[in-house]
């Protein structure tokens, strides 16, 4: 019997070790594994929020530290009279720092929710549900401008060709 000459197959052992190491790396770094089957199967807005909670908390903690560091840096820069006039030495205190976090959103779910809210809540609240609308007031003004433009310049449908009433009247003059 020469079985001792056969190389043992440890592919499954190595794969299990690699899977475990990968899982532990994501767990210890407190980030989510976007390639994980459970992540891609449950891509609802709520599951995304839960999976993004730890990275978001880490990012907010970093943002607080950056704000404090920026404040100290600008305090030193503004304290030198060669950089800033003496009467503006305290202006560093009025600086505002904005950090925009790139958080994945399920826009389809948001749009469906906004559509279902139609007639129940105000249009402003309805637009506030959508993460793709950064400024609701500005969006409301844009919608109002578009509606005014459509009333003043309605579209005339001629089968394949859709033209404004101004284009049609100019053509016939």
In whole angstroms, give the CA distance from residue 25 to residue 32: 10
The answer as to whether 28 is a domain residue is: no
The answer as to whether 160 is a domain residue is: yes
Pair 153, 166 in one domain: yes
Pair 142, 126 in one domain: no
Pair 154, 126 in one domain: no
Work out the average pLDDT over 67-80. 93
The answer as to whether 69 is a domain residue is: no
The answer as to whether 4 is a domain residue is: no
In whole angstroms, give the CA distance from residue 172 to residue 90: 67
Pair 173, 139 in one domain: yes
Residues in the chain: 173
The answer as to whether 52 is a domain residue is: no
Which range (35-44, 73-82, 130-139) has the least confidence? 35-44
The residue segments making up the domain with residue 153 are 135-173
For the purposes of burial, counting CB atoms within 10 Å of the CB of 67, is it exposed (0-12), middle (13-18) or buried (19 or more)?
A: middle
Q: What pLDDT is attached to residue 105?
A: 77
In whole angstroms, give the CA distance from residue 165 to residue 154: 6
The answer as to whether 169 is a domain residue is: yes
Where residue 45 falls (left for φ over 0; alpha for ψ -120 to 50; beta otherwise) is: alpha
In whole angstroms, give the CA distance from residue 61 to residue 30: 13
- SS3 state of residue 89: coil
**pLDDT tens digits along 46-63:** 777 777 888 889 999 999
Q: What pLDDT is attached to residue 163?
A: 62
Pair 122, 155 in one domain: no
- The two tokens of residue 70 are 């920026």
Task: Please name the residue that has the structure tokens 């001629």.
Answer: 158
The answer as to whether 12 is a domain residue is: no
Q: What pLDDT is attached to residue 11?
A: 79
Number of structural domains in the chain: 2
Pair 127, 158 in one domain: no
Pair 127, 143 in one domain: no
pLDDT beyond 80 at 122: yes
The answer as to whether 152 is a domain residue is: yes
């Amino acid at each position: 019997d020469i079985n001792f000459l056969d190389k043992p197959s440890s592919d499954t052992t190595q794969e299990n070790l690699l899977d475990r190491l990968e899982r532990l790396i994501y767990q210890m770094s407190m980030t989510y594994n976007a390639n994980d089957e459970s992540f891609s199967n449950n891509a609802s807005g709520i599951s995304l929020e839960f999976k993004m909670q730890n990275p978001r908390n880490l990012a907010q903690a970093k943002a607080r530290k950056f704000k404090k560091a920026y404040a100290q840096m600008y305090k030193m820069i503004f304290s030198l009279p060669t950089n800033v006039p003496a009467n503006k030495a305290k202006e560093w205190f009025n600086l505002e720092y904005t950090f925009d976090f790139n958080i994945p959103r399920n826009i389809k779910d948001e749009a469906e929710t906004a559509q279902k809210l139609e007639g129940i809540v105000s249009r402003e609240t309805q637009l506030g549900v959508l993460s793709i609308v950064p400024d609701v007031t500005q969006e409301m003004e844009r919608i109002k401008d578009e509606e005014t433009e459509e009333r003043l310049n309605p579209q005339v449908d001629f089968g394949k060709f859709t033209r404004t009433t101004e284009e049609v009247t100019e053509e016939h003059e």
